[in-house]
Copies of this chain bind each other. A is one copy, B any other.
Amino acid sequence: VILRNILLGMLAGRPMSGYDLSKLFERFLEHLWSARHSQIYPLLADLVEDGLIRQSGSGPRGRKIYEITDAGLAELRAWLTETEPGRTVRDEATLRSSLLWLLEPAQARDYLDREVAYHDAQLAHYRQLAASSTTTTAAERAMRVAVEAGLRHEQAMSEWARWASDQLATAG
């Protein structure tokens, strides 16, 4: 039900095809959520059947463009205001770090150093997004706010990985 509503939200931004939606996930949302085309296409069919989106056009190679309906917009707004977001964040890499005591200290330090590098790279990516994004429309300002969340998260995790590496150095 989450992905369903996220798709609705993306189509509220602008009409798109299933292919576009799947590319958007790949390119911009990979770190926050993932969705394969095999999950997206059936969901779009469901949304059409429920009257929340409709096919508004087509293109070459059987491309189908969908737009959100008034009913879809209403349902999306209700979801955003009337339901609580799920609070379980899944983060395998950080979870693994709680098992590093099983490895040789050198191996554990290697792992944490890779974490630092990863989070620093993500941080740079978000900084660039934040710097290059315009904030003229309401949708763009909201997107900027989401980018800021990623930025601060990566910053905190980078600092944490450094701290954890230091802990190993002083304890082991």
Contacts and interface: CB of A to CB of B under 8 A. Distances in A.
Q: Classify chain A's interface size.
A: 35 or more
A15 interface: no
Number of copies: 2
Nearest to A114: B84
Nearest to A94: B149
A31 interface: yes
7 contacts: A12-B99, A29-B95, A34-B90, A76-B99, A77-B103, A81-B107, A94-B146
Interface of A: 2, 6, 9, 12, 29-34, 73, 76-77, 80-81, 85-103, 107-108, 110-111, 118, 135, 137-139, 141-143, 145-146, 148-150, 152-153, 155-157, 159-160, 163-164, 167, 171
